[in-house]
Structure 1
């Protein structure tokens, strides 16, 4: 009959951080891992938790339940026949029963399954919310103030998360979220390595991020890391690695059922690789795909935080890059102007970087005065942005303009020398 919650199974489920719906999914996944033909519905779970006595799970369900919680069936509140009780004997004992055994007190084992051994402070959902807010704020810091202050803040967040993972108490669900955040932080660190010109450091962070994202089985997080790895591989002139990263990103996105925005980011990296390799036909194909994905992005029901920066301006910028690679700087100019015009607010670092790129192209097209005007506009705001990559671009423009015989160019070079 239906009655009040008996406590055993329900307490274990709550302590592990499962809702009834998420427990059903966790049960399914564990059954797949064990190779057991067993399933449970929310309705049956409610009967297990409320009826007195609860209906006895069949042997397959028992195996999955005991694997999920690490305690024998009686500790979950089930009235279990003697022949179904899992015994506590060494599995190497030839006289023992050859099925899963429990070698510790069931209550202690349950606690060990749910909490780390250290008796540190308790980490709960409120702490996760605060850390998530700090982590998401890194994007804004990077876009507005640059990677240097963002990297410093990321270091502080990483220390807090690793300290919590190592010494705090938390449920398995909270622990998984902490590990996911750590994987995201490694991905941020990879980008900061790229932006700071520390490409070896960035590549190392990519490998850490990929491993961490695999451990938490998050394919879209892996895609975000591969996106940065493409940029690092291109800088290292490892086109084959960059192309492999793009293909793997496509596979992961397809497997995860990702929407058009994620596919747009991958298509843009595909265009980066083809442009760098001088494969202009391949670049056009990738950009055509990017335009298609961009047209569908407005109806995307869910976009990961790392993909929210992308928009039409990225497509225009990549198209301009293709024309520059084809030695047609004048054809690149309108695309760069369009990119700057469509870029939303809050992207100060990107906007400055795009303007320097436009200045480079204008200079190559012989439009010296316009090129210097763009760089002067960047210098007006450069003091509030700490991005080594942006600073490097300005210095590159200084070298290119330094060989131009023009009063405007000489004045611009002198200002760069004083400012940077």
Structure 2
């Protein structure tokens, strides 16, 4: 099991090895030479670096060969001998799968879902680092319980795809119980059913897709801690399935959420890790989506140049997309250049660059189907904010009224917060009749 101390010491090994410029096999050769043995290999070093095994007899040789200070070994002492606070049951450690995914690992997924606390800030960088350097585990064949075959996998996937499209029309509070129930049902199959390794990987891929959907829906419902937990489950499940693209989808989703809820620097770490780690395995539209999120996290952190560079990568990814290149995963159905243009507009709005933001948002919003009320309301809220930055109070007020009209019957915490923000920004302009109309409408809704 990965422990905080073993993971931290593993990071020390990893950092020193890269500073020196050795591969894992090269380090293993150095350690074998010093110890007079032949039993160290790259796989063992990988387990040390990811915190899955703590070096014991090898410790003095590691310290000597890598020239690591002896006091770094204090990281490997039991928690009672260290000053770092122990994790509580509300905040269990967030790790990646062990070398074998089996029933106890499925229990870990359920424990992550049931935890009540948020993902602690000090685990964010650990999660990103572990994901970037880890390798997928083997999956233990489950030989007891209900037999899972292709027909059940197809049925679960169809339900998941349907729920994903329902999210286009329903707010988070309307959908959260259903999507969470689907994820729990899939994890219970992993825990209790009988399946081959291939089927197990397909179930884990489904769990990762469902976890991403739960994270998105929970965030829309204002359940941010539940969303954080769902995304970490998705990273864990995708890693177990050996699906780097799904891992990046969930890691980037977690980073996007953290950036949007007060932790922009952690958001930058996760979204950039997702973009870099998933890029070699991702198709063009996957890369576009992940870099969109990296651009958002960078702009919220105030890094304009970094945000602009990420937007450039998004454009490159869309230019590289070939619609006839082959079948793509269903969870990419909504990713298109128009969605990325909206993100461009949002980024420039967040950076208070209305001359860039307003033309982009006005052009793309006009192409949207108002049946997608929540998304259109959110996008128009960004246009209203950009118009306020430009000093166009009447136009901003008119857009805010449209947002309020679109939000009627939509149970979205995100939309509600955007309306509250816009009302707050319009409050100093009560001398403008259009602004007073907005404030009257907001008071009527409360």
Q: TM-score, normalised by structure 2?
A: 0.62
Match of 1:225 in 2: 250
Q: CA deviation at 1:214?
A: 0.8
Deviates more, 1:330-339 or 1:343-352: 343-352
Match of 1:415 in 2: 441
> In 2 relative to 1, CA 130–343 (structure 1 residues): closer, same or farther, beyond 3 Å?
same
Aligned ranges 1:304-319 → 2 under 5 Å:
304-319=329-344
1:242 aligns with 2:267: yes
How far apart are the structure 1 equivalents of 2:255 and 2:292? 10
Residues 316 and 335, structure 1, Cα contact 8 Å, conserved in 2: yes
Computing the radius of gyration from Cα coordinates, the structure with the larger value is 1
Q: CA deviation at 1:271?
A: 1.4
Residues 385 and 396, structure 2, Cα contact 8 Å, conserved in 1: yes
1:264 aligns with 2:294: no
2:405 to 371, 376, 380: 380
Instruction: Give SS of 2:216's match.
Output: helix
Residues 165 and 178, structure 1, Cα contact 8 Å, conserved in 2: yes
> In 2 relative to 1, CA 345–408 (structure 1 residues): closer, same or farther, beyond 3 Å?
closer
Instruction: Give SS of 1:229's match.
Output: helix
Residues 340 and 355, structure 1, Cα contact 8 Å, conserved in 2: yes
> In 2 relative to 1, CA 239–383 (structure 1 residues): closer, same or farther, beyond 3 Å?
closer
Deviates more, 1:206-215 or 1:326-335: 326-335
Match of 2:126 in 1: none
Unpaired stretches in structure 1, ≥5 consecutive residues: 1-32, 34-112
Residues 180 and 213, structure 1, Cα contact 8 Å, conserved in 2: yes
Q: CA deviation at 1:334?
A: 0.9
How far apart are the structure 2 equivalents of 1:370 and 1:337? 12
Once superposed, which parts of structure 1, at least 4 consecutive aligned residues long, lie more than 6 Å away? none
1:235-266 Cα distance to aligned partner (Å, 9 max, x none): 3444443233233223332332x221111112
How far apart are the structure 1 equivalents of 2:443 and 2:245? 43
Match of 1:109 in 2: none
Match of 1:174 in 2: 199
Residues 313 and 338, structure 1, Cα contact 8 Å, conserved in 2: no
> In 2 relative to 1, CA 324–149 (structure 1 residues): closer, same or farther, beyond 3 Å?
same
Q: CA deviation at 1:147?
A: 1.9
1:340 aligns with 2:365: yes
Match of 2:179 in 1: 154
How far apart are the structure 2 equivalents of 1:315 and 1:158? 28
> In 2 relative to 1, CA 191–326 (structure 1 residues): closer, same or farther, beyond 3 Å?
closer
1:246-291 Cα distance to aligned partner (Å, 9 max, x none): 33223332332x2211111122122112212222222222222212
User: In the comparison of the two structures, how many residue pairs are matched?
Assistant: 306
Unpaired stretches in structure 2, ≥5 consecutive residues: 1-42, 44-139
Q: CA deviation at 1:115?
A: 4.5
Match of 1:124 in 2: 149
Match of 2:92 in 1: none
1:89-140 Cα distance to aligned partner (Å, 9 max, x none): xxxxxxxxxxxxxxxxxxxxxxxx854323x4x4332222221111112221
> In 2 relative to 1, CA 307–379 (structure 1 residues): closer, same or farther, beyond 3 Å?
same
Match of 1:99 in 2: none
Residues 330 and 362, structure 1, Cα contact 8 Å, conserved in 2: no
Residues 171 and 221, structure 2, Cα contact 8 Å, conserved in 1: no
How far apart are the structure 1 equivalents of 2:273 and 2:209? 19
How far apart are the structure 2 equivalents of 1:406 and 1:382? 23
> In 2 relative to 1, CA 222–401 (structure 1 residues): closer, same or farther, beyond 3 Å?
same
Q: CA deviation at 1:309?
A: 1.8
Deviates more, 1:300-309 or 1:176-185: 300-309
Instruction: Give SS of 1:145's match.
Output: coil
Residues 352 and 386, structure 2, Cα contact 8 Å, conserved in 1: no
Match of 2:116 in 1: none
Deviates more, 1:176-185 or 1:353-362: 176-185
How far apart are the structure 1 equivalents of 2:326 and 2:334? 16
Aligned ranges 1:130-145 → 2 under 5 Å:
130-145=155-170
Q: CA deviation at 1:229?
A: 1.5
Aligned ranges 1:45-84 → 2 under 5 Å:
none
Residues 268 and 297, structure 2, Cα contact 8 Å, conserved in 1: yes
> In 2 relative to 1, CA 226–419 (structure 1 residues): closer, same or farther, beyond 3 Å?
same
Match of 2:214 in 1: 189
